[in-house]
Chain A
Amino acid sequence: MTTQALFSQLLIGLINGSFYALLSLGLAVIFGLLNVVNFCHGALYMLGALVAWYLLEHLGIGYWWALLISPLVVGLFGVVIERTMLRRLYGLDPLYGLLLTFGLALIIQGVARNYFGVSGEPYDIPSQLTGGKNLGFMFLPNYRAWVVAVSVVICSLTWFVVERTRVGAYLRAGTENSILVQAFGINVPRMLTLTYGAGVALAALAGVMAAPITRVSPLMGADLIIVVFAVVVIGGMGSIFGSIVTGFALGVIEGLTKVFYPEASNTVIFLIMAIVLLVKPAGLFGRTT
C-alpha cells in the first residue's frame, strides 16, 4: 500500500463526501421546514447533471454558465413541484410526501432513461481546471480540488444563511411553529416554495459538479439517494452543521474502506448507520424526539 494510493482514495472520499454533504444539506433544509423527505433529491441531482450536458451538447453553453443555469432550471422545476403537488400534502402524514417524491423520482429517472439510454455520456472537465499539481506525496487534480473547495464554500454559505441571517431566522422559526410565524405577517407558503426550490437547486449544483467526474447517466442519483438517507440517519436531520460534518466524514471513511477493506466499501456507511442506531438512535447531531 503506497501513500500515493492512500491519499488518492482519501481525495475520492472527500469528493464523495462533498456530494453527500451538499445533498444531505438540501434534504435537511427541506425536511426541517416542509416536513417532507425528498426522495426525488437523487433524481434532481441527476437532472442537474443532465441539464449541464444538454446545455453543452445542444446549445454550446459551457460548464461555468451551466453551474448557474442548471440549478436555476432545476430549482424552478422544484418550485413547480411544490406549488402543484407537495402543497396538497401538508398536514397529512409525512409518509405521503415520501411516497409522492418517490413516484416523481421514478418518473424523472424513467423519462431520462428513455431519452438518454442507460449507458451515460462523458462530460469534459472545463479547460481552466484540467491538469493538476504534484504535492510531493500525491498528485492533486485541479478539478477535484475545485469541487471540494466549492462545496465547502456552499455548505458554509448555507449554514451562514440559515443560522446567522434574518431570512434564516424566519426559516428556523417556521420550522418550530409555522402558524405563529404566519401570524407575524410572514408569507409562509411562499417561504416553503422557495425553500424547496433552493434545496433542490443545491442538488442540481452537486449534479453539475459531479458531471465531469462520473459519467452523466439517468441512474447516477438512484443509488446515491439511499446512501444519503443513511448519512442523514447517522447525522440526524436536526442540524445543518451536523449534516455537513457527517457528509464529509462518511465520504472519507468510505474512501479509507476502499483502501483497507474494499469488499465493504459499498456497505460501510450502512453498517455505521446500524451501529449509530444501536448507540445513539437519534443520530450523532440529532435531538431526541
Chain B
Amino acid sequence: MTAPGPSVEAAGPTVGAIPAVIPASTRSLRWLIVGMAVLLVVAPFVFYPVILMKALCLALFACAFNLLLGYSGLLSFGHALFFGGAGYIAGQAALVWGFPFELAVLTGTAAAAVLGLAVGWLAIRRQGIYFAMITLALAQMFYFYCLRAKFTGGEDGIQGIPRGKLLGVLSLNNNLTMYFVVLALFLFGFLAILRIVHSPFGHVLTAIRENEPRAISLGYKTDHYKLIAFVLSAALSGLAGGTKSIVFELASLTDVYWTTSGEVILIVLLGGLGTLFGPVVGAFVIVVVENYLAQLGGWVTVVQGALFVVCVLAFRRGIVGELSRLLHRPL
C-alpha cells in the first residue's frame, strides 16, 4: 500500500531517525574515541599520509555537516560554499597576505562562519525541501562568483599556497608533521561537535529535528537554534576546507561546486546519519573507494550515484547506524 506522505512542507521528523537512544555510557564512549585517536596516530606509519590527510579533512567536513543534518534535521545542499569558500580565503591569507598557518586557517574558518550567518539567515525562512533547494541555489551563486572573481584565479584556482611553519617554528613541509597537525585539528573539531551534541543546546536541536512545532510550543525560539547550528556547522566546515587547501597547497573551483556538497551528503549517509562515528567511517570509505576507482575515470560519479541509490533505498541507517543497531548501543 503506497500512501504518499502529507503534502505539507514539514521539517522532517524521520531524517536521521536513529532509534530513541539511551544515553551512551560516557566511559565506553571515551574508550571508543581514544581507540579512534590511537588508530589515527598509528595510521601514517602504515598508509600514505597525504591520502590520510585528505580523508581527515573530509571527515571533519562530514562531522560538521552531520551536526546539521543528523542532529538538527536540516539538509543543506550547499555546504561546499563553506568548505571551498574557506579554502579560498585561507589560501589567499597564506599566499598573498603572508599569514602563518594557524592564522590563515583561522581566517578561513571565520570567513566560513560569516558566510554561514548570511546563508543561514536567508535559508531558515523555509523548511524541509525548500531549505535544501535554497542552500543549493545560494552555493551555486557563490560558485559563479568564484568563477569570475580575481583573487580565486578562476579555472586555475589559487596555486602554490605555502604550508609555512606552525607557530613560526615547526616547518610543515614534512608530510608527517603536517599530518599530526591535521589530526589535532580534526580531533578538536570532533570533540567540539561531541560537546555541542551532548549539551542542552544539542538536545534542543534534536527536539527540533524530531518535532519542530512542539519545540516551538515549549517556548524555544527554534529559528535562533537552527541559525546557531547552521553557523557552527559552516564554521567547522570552513576549518576543514581551510586546512585542506593549505595541506594540498591548492584552492580550486571543485571545492565550491555542487558535486562537493553532494559528496559530503553521501559520506554522512553512507557512514550513518546522526551517529558520532558515521561521518568519519564514511569519509575513509569514500576516499578509499575513490582512490581505487581513480583509474576508471568518469565512472566515479556513476559509482557515487549508485551508492546514493543503494543507501537511500536499502541502507538508510548507514554503516555505523547498522552497527549501532546490532550492538544495541549508540555509536
Using a CB–CB cutoff of 8 Å, the interface residues on chain A facing chain B are 31-35, 37, 85, 87-96, 98-100, 102-111, 113-114, 175-176, 178-179, 182, 188-189, 192, 223, 226-227, 229-230, 232-233, 263, 266-267, 270-271, 273-274, 277-278, 281, 289
Complex Cα–Cα for A227 and B145 (A): 15
Q: What are 24 residue pairs bridging A and B, where the CB atoms are less than 8 Å apart in the complex?
A: A34-B4, A85-B309, A91-B2, A91-B3, A92-B14, A93-B13, A94-B5, A98-B132, A102-B305, A103-B306, A106-B262, A107-B309, A110-B301, A110-B304, A175-B7, A182-B3, A223-B140, A226-B136, A233-B126, A233-B137, A270-B137, A270-B138, A274-B122, A277-B122
For the complex, what is the distance from the CA of A263 to the CA of B5, rounded to whole Å? Answer: 42
Q: Taking each of A93, A114, A227, A233, which has the highest tally of chain B beta carbons within 10 Å of its own beta carbon?
A: A93
Alpha-carbon gap, A87 to B140, bound state (A): 30
User: Which secondary structure dominates where chain B touches chain A?
Assistant: helix
CB pair A110 B137 closer than 8 Å:
no
What 1/0 mask marks residues of chain B from 113 to 150 whose CB sits below 8 Å from any chain A CB?
00000000011011011101110111011001101100
Residues of B within 8 Å of A88, CB to CB, are 313
State in angstroms the CA–CA spacing of A219 and B96 once bound together. Answer: 35
Q: Which residues of B contact A109 (CB under 8 A)?
A: 301
Cβ B133 vs Cβ A232 within 8 A: yes
Chain B contact residues, CB within 8 Å of chain A = 2-9, 12-15, 75, 77, 122-123, 125-126, 128-130, 132-134, 136-138, 140-141, 144-145, 147-148, 258, 262, 265, 269, 297-302, 304-309, 311-313, 316
Interface of A is mostly: helix
* Contacts A95-B132, A178-B3; A229 near B262 (Cβ below 8 A): no
Contact B3 A107 (CB under 8 A): no
Q: How far is the CA of A267 from the CA of B265 in the complex (A)?
A: 24
| A94 & B316 in contact (Cβ 8 Å cutoff) | no
CB of B4 within 8 A of CB of A91, answer yes
The answer to whether B308 and A106 have CB atoms under 8 Å apart is: yes
Closest to A275 in B: B122
Contacts known (A102-B262, A233-B137, A273-B134); A89 close to B312, Cβ less than 8 A: yes
Q: A93-B15, A109-B301, A114-B302 are in contact. Are A281 and B126 (CB under 8 A)?
A: yes
Bound complex: CA A229 to CA B262 (Å): 16
- A103 contact from B8, B144, B307, Cβ within 8 A: B307
Complex Cα distance, B13 from A229, in Å, reads 23
